Amino acid sequence: MLVPCEIMTRKTLIDENRELINDELVALQSIYPELELDGNNCGRVSIPVSTEDTFYLSFPDLKRTNNIDTIATKHFPAIELEFFLREGYPQKSPPVFFLKSSWLPMRQRRTLTSSMVRLWNEIHDCVLFDAIELLRSSASSAFQSPKEMVFPSDSESLKQEFLTTDKHASLMDFENRTFTCLICFDNFSGKDCFRLARCGHVCCKQCLTDYYSVCIEEGMFTQLKCVDLECAKTASILTLEEMEMIVGPELRKRFQELDEKRRYENDANIVFCPRKSCQGPARRDPGQKLAICLKCDFAFCSFCQASWHGDLSACKLQGDSKKLVKMYLDYQESDADKAEELEKRYGKRILDKLVEQVKNDEEAERWALLNGQRCPTCDRVVERIDGCCHMICLCGTHFCFLCGAYLMEANPYIHFNDPMSTCYAMLFASPEEKQRFSENWL
């Protein structure tokens, strides 16, 4: 049974310990803002692990048998220190420590826990700050871990955790440094810069955004690479992920559309959908008419752009048939493959008929020019059987049979009496003279 003096001594000790604990926890929270307390003398704090040396971590590749995926890193997932302050701490009882880590072996965690407890054994006083600092100083060497570590085959999630941690820590290091932009040569904080993944060159975000935006809008896709002149000689263009981070999703999508169209335009077997609302790419077999749009599934003739009319039906003629005939005849002499393509497109019989028709029309036009004259108003061919060269068409137009010029109805013969006229003194020109006159116009 405790006597009153002993009760008072114990109560005083408890009060002193409580005051010491409160002071220690307040001090710790001011030093480590990330410290979490639950109000029951329990708390936890995360210890970042970054090293000066590079560590090599090997993970079995689950996709390929007997293949090892090795990661080089200086940043490890943080370890978590949990502590519980028992009754009697800090003078009579040591704190209870728990270390949580996804990668640090249990044996090393026990060694670290024992080291922190030994700190209390040496002084029997507040040791939380010393324990945390012990972990932070040991973290610089990854707690004496070997430089090369091999993890078991079921560590895929741990591998991803390492990659995420390293990426985040590297980004924080980058943002806290200062860099000189390779374009404008001003100095910027890493937060305002972008580092290209493949070569590591750094430029300010504004310069890179402006430069790559112009390259995309102007179609200069070969310039979408590092701006360093030497690096650009061998560097490949940006990845789509990097491009979107710099110029945004809209311009990245614009680049993909333009690049795809450029590649399609260089492919002789790609045509584009004739629908104005689509205009998507369509692939066809070499030399064949049928094309099907990859975007809207519209089947159409790749020659005439009309909806699909079958291989046996010829394409409808569009435009000037004389130009088509001239092109066909030229191809027959210079390029048999293109002549054959036109035959597939319009049909050989139709082209032969067109050639015959055009030749007949040209012959008729030649005859009409040598032996007749077209009315300048209605284009009707007028033949002179007898009489003078003053002609009156059925439409009532007065014109010259030789040159086709309009004649004044009141005085049509002034045209033939004017010394400056090409038809001067030729009112009664013979058919032979008419032909010689017209040959000058052929």
- The set of catalytic residues is 388
Residues 76-91 as b or e (16 or more Cβ within 10 Å = b)? bbbbebebebeeebbe
CA distance 123 to 225: 61
CA distance 324 to 322: 5
Helix, strand, coil distribution of the chain in percent, nearest 5: 45, 20, 40
Report whether the peptide linkage leading into residue 90 is cis, meaning its omega lies within 30 degrees of zero.
Answer: yes
Task: Give 304's contacts (C-beta < 8 A, 6+ positions apart).
Answer: 315, 316, 318, 345
Instruction: Centre a 10 Å sphere on the Cβ of residue 28 and count the other Cβ atoms it contains.
Output: 18
Query: Which ranges in 218-281 belong to alpha helices (H)?
Result: 229-232, 240-247, 249-265
Strands 193-195 and 202-204 turn out to be: antiparallel
Strands 178-180 and 187-189 turn out to be: antiparallel
Instruction: Centre a 10 Å sphere on the Cβ of residue 201 and count the other Cβ atoms it contains.
Output: 16
Give CA 125 to chain center in angstroms. Answer: 63
In 85-197 the beta strands, taken as DSSP E runs, fall at 96-100, 148-150, 178-180, 187-189, 193-195
Instruction: Centre a 10 Å sphere on the Cβ of residue 181 and count the other Cβ atoms it contains.
Output: 20
Strands 68-84 and 36-37 turn out to be: unpaired
Rounded (10°) angle between helices 249-265 and 240-247: 130
Q: How much is the CA Rg of the chain, to the nearest whole Å?
A: 47
Closest of 257, 256, 299 to residue 274, by C-alpha: 299
* Sign for the pseudo-dihedral over CA of 297, 301, 305, 309: negative
